């Protein structure tokens, strides 16, 4: 079930992508200098009729043309079986 808290956690990065810089720094992940960040469709449906969506999908592009996609998923609580999905562990 989608909640206001869930939606707000994604709007933060969709509306203020510059906030990725301190988050990446905190996680120890390098972010390109002066990147361009675009919000792109979160619909990741395949050609088969199975709908798959991510919460937020961003394209981060460096001025040199290199780019990567960043999928952001909100979690309600820590799941020990998904330890690698939590930056703090």
Per-residue pLDDT of the chain (89 residues; tens, 9 = 90+): 578 887 888 888 888 888 888 888 888 888 888 888 888 877 766 666 666 678 889 999 999 989 998 888 877 777 777 666 555 43
- 31 is in which domain, residue-wise? 4-85
Say how far apart CA 76 and CA 79 lie, in whole Å: 9
Say how far apart CA 72 and CA 57 lie, in whole Å: 6
Is residue 56 a contact partner of residue 10, using CB atoms and an 8 Å limit?
A: yes
Q: What is the DSSP letter of 43?
A: B
Q: Is the pTM of this model over 0.85?
A: no
Residue 64 has a pLDDT of 92
The tally of domains found in the chain comes to 1
Residue 61 has a pLDDT of 92
Is residue 52 a contact partner of residue 71, using CB atoms and an 8 Å limit?
A: no
């Amino acid at each position: 079930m989608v909640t206001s808290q869930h939606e707000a956690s994604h709007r933060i990065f969709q509306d203020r992508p510059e906030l990725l810089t301190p988050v990446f720094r905190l996680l120890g992940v390098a972010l390109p200098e002066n990147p361009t960040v675009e919000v792109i469709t979160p619909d990741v449906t395949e050609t088969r009729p199975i709908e798959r969506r991510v919460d937020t999908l961003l394209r981060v592009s460096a001025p040199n043309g290199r780019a990567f996609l960043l999928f952001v998923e909100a979690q309600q609580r820590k799941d020990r079986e998904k330890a690698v999905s939590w930056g703090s562990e």
